[in-house]
């Protein structure tokens, strides 16, 4: 029986296609050889891969570990990502199966997929999974779910830190697998079917996601630099208050002796306003730099605005309440859900329906976030109900057409138009 280390080594060797010294082949055959002798590639673009990339993987410098530090050190980044993560974790996730007449029917609460998304693993709750996923996507532009089984054979989902994951490309299958390196650097190998890879499209690297923080990083750094300067300014004005100019060339010991005598004579409340006399000083130059010159507040506001743009979070929701009213805060919440969270939810649904459910053995099921209970979406829902009622009253829609839009089964009497008398 192989030890854990031997199992990891064997899995890694399998992923990179190592056959051992006997075969003399380090890479798997990346071509299909039909009987007629023609050569085909499943991924023609994969032919340009560097062979070393198939062995050591691709990270491309896009998953910087320091990106995670911004979440712990930048208030705008933390606030924007936390708001998005909290929003994603709020709506429940429903699993549906196709029913008659195109109606989708919810599965029972004890269905294995529904239970998996409610009981993620022994240490993660449902909310933990979605928060970790959204935080990883917003910091690194990608998130990885490792699919593993417990002692009873039940599926578990374990989110992996993206900056510790290496993608192993493949010329024929596009992705051969993944390697995760934990805190001690020990590699853990996963096949392509054992990992769900969620990523934002990156036009510069097809094997990496693009972090929203990447274009906003300079502005975030500018805000951080401004805060650090201001902290030092409050501690010691960030510079000496004045400079004593002299024509003499003083040695280090003479300078230290001058500081000692100066502090003995003028330091402390009892020596306040005491005139100073230094016979070798020819001039005193006062130094100063105001916050107006630094434009400190404007720099912080610009940093906040750039984070707001990058993450799609309106500024009033980031506690920028300078011009906030009750009306525009409500409008900001609706804008945030409609333009940011709903597209993010659809992104997650599409990827998980395509990549998670077939691996679990349920390709006919569909995953959907239930947004009907979200307060910011209620006004849009009310408008939709009013519009449907008006179309019903005018005979444009039938009862069954409206019921299908509501994912409800048809009724025998619902095929005739309802004309208002």
In this predicted structure, what is the pLDDT of residue 262? 79
Q: Which of 118, 89, 112, 84 is nearest to 370 (CA)?
A: 89
- Ranges of the chain whose pLDDT falls below 70: 1-61, 233-234, 236-242, 278-280, 284-297, 324, 326, 379-381, 419-421
Which pLDDT value is given to residue 385?
Answer: 78
Q: Kindly report the CA angle at 136 between 145 and 110, in degrees rounded to 5?
A: 40
Confidence (pLDDT) at 197: 96
Q: What is the pLDDT of residue 134?
A: 98
Please name every residue paired with 32 in a beta bridge, in sequence order, or none if there are none: 40
Q: pTM for the whole thing?
A: 0.71
| Strand-strand pairing, 142-149 and 195-199 | antiparallel
| pLDDT > 70: percent of the chain | 76
Per-residue pLDDT tens digits for 380-393: 667 777 777 877 87
pLDDT at 230: 72
pLDDT value of residue 285: 65
d(CA 175, CA 181): 18
Task: Compute the residue count for the chain.
Answer: 421
């Amino acid at each position: 029986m192989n030890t854990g280390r031997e199992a990891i080594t064997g899995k890694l060797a399998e992923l990179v296609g190592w056959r051992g010294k006997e075969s003399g082949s380090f890479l798997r055959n990346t071509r299909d050889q039909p009987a007629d002798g023609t050569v085909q590639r499943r991924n023609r673009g994969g032919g340009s891969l560097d062979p070393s990339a198939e062995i050591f993987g691709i990270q491309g410098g896009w998953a910087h570990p320091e990106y995670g530090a911004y979440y712990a050190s930048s208030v705008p980044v933390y606030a924007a990502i936390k708001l998005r993560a909290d929003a994603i974790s709020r709506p429940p996730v429903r699993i549906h199966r196709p029913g008659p007449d195109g109606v989708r029917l919810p599965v029972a609460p004890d269905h294995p997929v529904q239970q998996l998304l409610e009981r993620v693993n022994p240490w993660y709750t449902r909310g933990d999974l979605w928060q970790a996923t959204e935080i990883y996507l917003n910091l690194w532009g990608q998130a990885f779910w490792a699919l593993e089984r417990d002692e009873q054979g039940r599926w578990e989902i374990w989110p992996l830190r993206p900056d510790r994951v290496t993608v192993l490309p493949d010329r024929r299958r596009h992705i051969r697998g993944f390697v995760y390196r934990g805190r001690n650097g020990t590699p853990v190998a996963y096949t392509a079917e054992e990992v769900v890879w969620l990523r934002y499209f990156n036009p510069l690297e097809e094997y990496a996601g693009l972090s929203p923080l990447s274009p906003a990083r300079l502005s975030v750094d500018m805000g951080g630099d401004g805060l650090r300067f201001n902290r030092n300014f409050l501690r010691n004005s960030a510079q000496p208050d004045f400079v004593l100019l002299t024509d003499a060339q003083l040695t280090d010991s003479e300078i230290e002796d001058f500081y000692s005598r100066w502090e003995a004579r003028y330091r402390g409340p009892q020596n306040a306003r005491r005139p100073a006399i230094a016979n070798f000083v020819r001039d005193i130059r006062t130094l100063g730099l105001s916050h107006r010159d630094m434009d400190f507040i404007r720099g912080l506001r610009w940093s906040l605005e750039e984070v707001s743009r990058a993450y799609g979070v309106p500024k009033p929701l980031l506690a920028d309440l300078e011009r906030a009213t009750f009306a525009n805060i409500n409008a900001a919440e609706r804008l945030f859900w409609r333009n940011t969270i709903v597209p993010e939810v659809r992104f997650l649904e599409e990827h998980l329906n395509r990549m998670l459910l077939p691996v679990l053995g349920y390709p006919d099921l569909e995953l959907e976030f239930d947004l009907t209970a979200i307060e910011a979406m209620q006004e849009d829902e009310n408008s939709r109900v009013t519009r449907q009622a008006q179309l019903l009253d005018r005979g444009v829609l039938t009862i069954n057409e409206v019921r299908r839009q509501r994912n409800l089964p048809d009724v025998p009497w619902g095929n005739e138009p309802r004309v208002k008398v």
